[in-house]
């Protein structure tokens, strides 16, 4: 036990790891650390104070790929997260989506260099297919981000060494 409280885990804070799909309600908060080219998708239901987050690594699995962890891919993660948030009867258009990440972290090989941009494009495409409005984003550029979704307000807090803290 840490008597100072500095290193005690926050029981209200839920970490969403790579490929993770998590739904929670206030007073919980969702976060995902160290986004580079990955994209964090946050969905919030303002009527219920519930939210969800996905940590998306790639746009889609490689053609002919064997069994994969679907949450890593935008083509699976976005529809699945929307399904998880609407199983109570909520219409997808009533959700609010925000995204962060998709940075250009790799230089050199073109296929890897633009993976962040491809992740952003596929997440946006999937949201459009699901009729979920994207209301805010902090994407692209060349820096890593850590994000947190506050479920009482739907605010996404985006932290980076380069730009400090932004609230979207």
| Residues forming the active site | 38
H or E stretch covering 43? strand 39-45
CA angle 134, 138, 142 (to 5 degrees): 140
d(CA 115, CA 113): 6
- Residues comprising the chain, all counted: 168
Assess contact for 73 and 57: CB atoms under 8 A: yes
Q: Which are the contacts of 29, defined by CB distance < 8 A and separation ≥ 6? A: 12, 13, 14, 148, 149, 150, 151
Nearest-Å Rg of the Cα atoms of the chain is 16
The structure tokens 């007073």 sit at 27
Positive or negative, the Cα torsion across 54, 56, 60, 62?
negative
């Amino acid at each position: 036990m840490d008597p100072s409280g500095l290193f005690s885990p926050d029981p209200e804070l839920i970490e969403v790891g790579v490929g993770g799909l998590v739904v929670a309600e206030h007073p919980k908060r969702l976060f995902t650390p160290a986004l580079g080219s990955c994209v964090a998708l946050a969905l919030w239901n303002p009527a219920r104070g519930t939210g969800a987050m996905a940590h998306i690594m790639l746009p889609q699995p490689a053609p002919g790929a064997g069994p994969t962890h679907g949450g890593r891919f935008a083509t699976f993660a976005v529809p699945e997260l929307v399904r998880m948030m609407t199983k109570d009867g909520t219409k997808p258009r009533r959700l609010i989506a925000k995204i962060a990440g998709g940075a250009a972290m790799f230089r050199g090989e073109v296929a890897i260099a633009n993976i962040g941009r491809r992740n952003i494009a596929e997440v946006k495409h999937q949201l459009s297919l699901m009729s979920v409005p994207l209301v805010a984003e902090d994407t692209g550029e060349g820096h890593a981000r850590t994000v947190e979704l506050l479920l009482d307000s739907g605010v996404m807090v985006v932290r980076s060494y380069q730009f400090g803290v932004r609230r979207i």
